């Protein structure tokens, strides 16, 4: 089983309740390897963590679809203005199915796989 598969399996089983150290124990992976993978997962939107007390617990994030929209240009303009007016780091418009219609995200967040 690949390192990536081991981490995904452990995250699926844990239901979002494992810290980094617990994940290292669960998967048996070296700590440095695990941190590299978790960071990649986080950047690509495949996994995220939640602050619980002093710990950060990791969970998988379901992929989000990007849906073509006839009003994309109009939405893009509105979001751009919103970011300029409010100094937000990023923002997006998502429909009821969870698909992205328009998004302005920080440079290190992949739009197609982002957790929103």
Binding footprint of other proteins on the chain (CB under 8 A)? 19-21, 24, 30-33, 35-36, 38-40, 42-43, 49, 55-56, 87, 89, 106-108
Q: Which is nearer to other proteins, 70 or 89 (CB)?
A: 89
Contact 64, 112 (CB under 8 A): yes
Helix (H, G, I), strand (E, B) or coil at 84: helix
In whole angstroms, the minimum distance from the beta carbon of 108 to other proteins comes to 7
In whole angstroms, the minimum distance from the beta carbon of 30 to other proteins comes to 4
Q: Which is nearer to other proteins, 54 or 96 (CB)?
A: 54
Pairing type for strands 55-60 and 91-94 reads unpaired
In whole angstroms, the minimum distance from the beta carbon of 42 to other proteins comes to 6
Looking at 16-103, list the stretches that DSSP marks H as alpha helix, in order from N- to C-terminal side.
Answer: 20-27, 31-44, 72-86
Q: Which is nearer to other proteins, 20 or 69 (CB)?
A: 20
* Nearest 10 degrees: Cα torsion 103, 108, 109, 113: 120
């Amino acid at each position: 089983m690949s390192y990536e598969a081991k981490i995904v399996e452990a995250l699926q089983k844990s239901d979002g309740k494992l810290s980094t150290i617990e994940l290292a124990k669960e998967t048996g992976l070296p700590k440095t390897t695990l941190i590299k993978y978790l960071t990649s997962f986080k950047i690509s939107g495949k996994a995220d963590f939640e602050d619980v007390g002093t710990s950060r617990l990791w969970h998988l994030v379901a992929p989000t679809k990007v849906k073509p929209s006839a009003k994309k240009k109009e939405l893009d303009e509105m979001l751009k203005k919103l970011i300029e007016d409010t100094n937000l780091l990023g923002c997006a418009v998502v429909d009821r199915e969870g698909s992205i219609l328009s998004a302005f995200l920080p440079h290190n967040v992949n739009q197609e796989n982002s957790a929103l």
